[in-house]
Amino acid sequence: MSPIRGYVFDAYGTLFDVHSVVEAGREITSDPVTLSATWRQKQLEYTWLRALMGTYADFWEVTEAALRYAIRQLGLAATDAQIRRLMDAYLSLACFPDVKPALGRLAGRPRAVLSNGAPTMLAAAVTASGLTTFLEHVISVDRVKTYKPSPRVYALGPETLGASAGELLFVSSNGWDVAGAKAFGYQVAWCNRSGAPEEELGVRADLIVDALDRLPR
C-alpha cells in the first residue's frame, strides 16, 4: 500500500451497528433479528434503486419506507408510534467496541465519515456514540443527492480532504461499498467482522481486517 494521507469511513455497518435497533423491534415481533435484516436489506435496495432511477429521497425517508415494506412483507403490524420508536433507534445506534480505540490510534491525519445518512441522522448518531472529537469531517451523500456506490459520492472524500483518492484509505464493512470505493480509485480496507464472503464485483480490497483497530497508521 502507498502512504496514507487521510481516512474515510463508511458509517452504517462500519462504525455504527445497524442491528442495534433489534431491541426496539421486540415491541412488534418475536423475531426482531429477521425484522432488522429485512429492513436493512430493503433500505440498501431502495438507495440503489432511487439512485439509478434518479429519484433521490433522503436516507431518513428511504429508511422509513424500507421499514414499512419490511413490516408488511413479514406480515407484521405496527402503529405510527411504534414505527416512530423504531426510526428513533436509528438516531442513537451503538457504535462497535473497536471504533473509538481505532479512531484514537489514527489521530494526526484527517478522519472523515462518508455516508448515505442524512445530515441530521449522522449528526445524531455521531453525538450519541461520543465520536465527535474523533472525526474531522462528517460528509453526507445529501450534498450530491445520490447514493453509494455512485462515483459522485466517492468524489466527496478527495474533495473534502484535499488529497487524491489514491492517497486516502477508505474503510467499510459493506462489501459492495468496498467495491465501489475501489472502482473509484481509493486504497480500500474491508473490515469484515462477520466473516462474510467476498463480493464478486470484479475488484478487491487492498486489505482485509477483522476489526478497525487493525488498520495501518
Q: Which of 117, 149, 157, 185 binds a second copy (CB under 8 A)?
A: 149
Count of residues engaged in binding a second copy, rule: CB under 8 A:
32
3-state secondary structure (DSSP) of residue 165:
helix
193 binds a second copy (CB under 8 A): no
- Alpha helices, H only, the chain: 22-25, 32-53, 59-73, 80-89, 99-105, 119-128, 151-154, 156-161, 175-184
Say which of 10, 17, 58, 177 is annotated catalytic.
10
- Out of 22, 128, 201, 207, point to the residue binding a second copy (CB under 8 A): 201
DSSP letter at 158 equals H
Contact between 184 and 151 under an 8 Å Cβ cutoff? The reply is yes
- Candidate list 13, 32, 180, 185; residue touching a second copy; CB under 8 A: 180
**Binding of a second copy at residue 112 (CB under 8 A)?**
no
H helix and E strand count, the chain: 9, 6
Euclidean distance between CA atoms 4 and 110, whole angstroms: 10
| Residue 10 annotated among the catalytic residues of the structure | yes
Q: Residue for cell digits 473509538? A: 100
Asked if residue 108 binds a second copy (CB under 8 A), the reply is no
Q: Applying CB under 8 A, does 60 fall inside the site for a second copy?
A: no
Closest CB to a second copy among 60 and 176? 176
Q: Are 42 and 116 in contact (CB under 8 A)?
A: no
Q: Which of residues 16-55 bind a second copy (CB under 8 A)?
A: 45-46, 48-55
Answer for which of 19, 20, 22, 68 binds a second copy (CB under 8 A) is 68
Interaction site with a second copy (CB under 8 A)? 45-46, 48-55, 57, 65-66, 68-69, 72-73, 147-151, 176, 179-180, 183, 197-202
